[in-house]
Amino acid sequence: MKLSLDACEVLDAIDKKGSFAAAAAALYRVPSTVTYTVQKLEEELGIMIYRREGRRSVLTPAGRVLLEQGRELLKAAEHIVENAKQVDSGWESQLTIARDTIYDIDKIYDIVEAFYQLNTGVEVTIIEEVLAGSWEAIIENRADLVIGAPKPEINIQGIKFEEIAIADWQFVASKNHPLLEYKQPLTEEDIKPFHSVMIKDSSKTSPAMTHRIFEKQRILRVASMEQKILAQIRGVGVGFLPTHRIINHLESGDLVPLLIDKDAPLTPLFMGWRANNKGRAMRWFIEKIREIK
């Protein structure tokens, strides 16, 4: 086969590091070896991968296709190795958890702490997603397990999910916010002049899920629940927040609940995983999450 994983790795390093020399350093090779690998690949495939533009080497369209699909080959190779290690030991070498931003990170840390006491050698990675982005992380293999996600709007083939908690919401504002002087329950017209703080759905390809906002209200978009809470404490916006994430701020008075003439429905939270993933670490985490639900 003319296209090797080594060649794909070289192209990937050149693109990420920005030059042949930097790629050679990252791969612990001399620059001439990296140059030779690219030239040999061009010769064997009969295509031009890079063209010169002044002092820079720029990917050709064909080179771009080779780079992007070569990265898919590298991912597939990693997956093969991972499966082999799992069959050999029963434990995955690594586990990636996508935590929806609504879910309390302290609960996950408690579980991780207990897992580390098993001394399995499994490396745990926690990433943060929002709404549809949580399910997208599973579908696109960016994560093995998602925790705290909303109910998927459609049945996702090959994905198992189950309810783990229910979140209730309160409309809150900063202790110094002008809305505190308004007669309650607040109307939509009362709230519209003030910015609503909204967490941006992290999905890149899936349809974004809806948020609790009023029609034509100005919006401040943030990336996480932590940012939304802080924004509302600072008084730069108002909106609904899950009670379990703001108990301390309600008790301290930094955030004040306000009655409004719009219901805040309860939200079920789910965990999900790929049905064909039989990893021992993932099964362990699923059972622990079930225990604390």
What's the CA gap between 96 and 109, in Å, rounded? 13
Which phi and psi (to 5°) does residue 127 adopt? -115, 160
pLDDT tens per residue, range 30-62: 999 999 999 999 999 999 999 988 888 899 999
Given a contact cutoff of 8 angstroms between Cβ atoms, the answer to whether 260 and 185 are in contact is: yes
pLDDT digit string, tens, across residues 103-159: 999 999 999 999 999 988 888 999 999 999 999 999 988 999 999 999 987 777 889
What CA–CA distance (Å, rounded) separates 141 from 235?
38
**CATH for the 5-87 domain, from 1.10.10.10, 2.60.40.420, 3.30.930.10, 3.40.50.300:** 1.10.10.10
- Residues 188-208: pLDDT tens digits? 899 999 999 999 989 887 766
Please name the residues in contact with 253: beta carbons below 8 A apart, sequence gap of 6 or more: 175
CATH of span 91-165+269-292: 3.40.190.10
Q: Which two tokens stand for residue 206?
A: 């899936």
Cα maximum dimension of the chain? 77
H helices of 5-47, in order, are: 5-17, 20-26, 31-45
Fold designation for 169-265: D-Maltodextrin-Binding Protein; domain 2 (3.40.190)
Cα-Cα-Cα-Cα dihedral sign, residues 121, 70, 40, 33 = negative
In this prediction, residue 88 carries a pLDDT of 74
Q: What is the mean pLDDT of the chain?
A: 90
Tell me if domain 91-165+269-292 and domain 169-265 are identical in fold: yes
| Residue boundaries of the structural domains of the chain | 5-87, 91-165+269-292, 169-265
Q: Is 147 helix (H, G, I), strand (E, B) or coil?
A: strand
Q: Rounded to two decimals, what is the model's pTM? A: 0.70
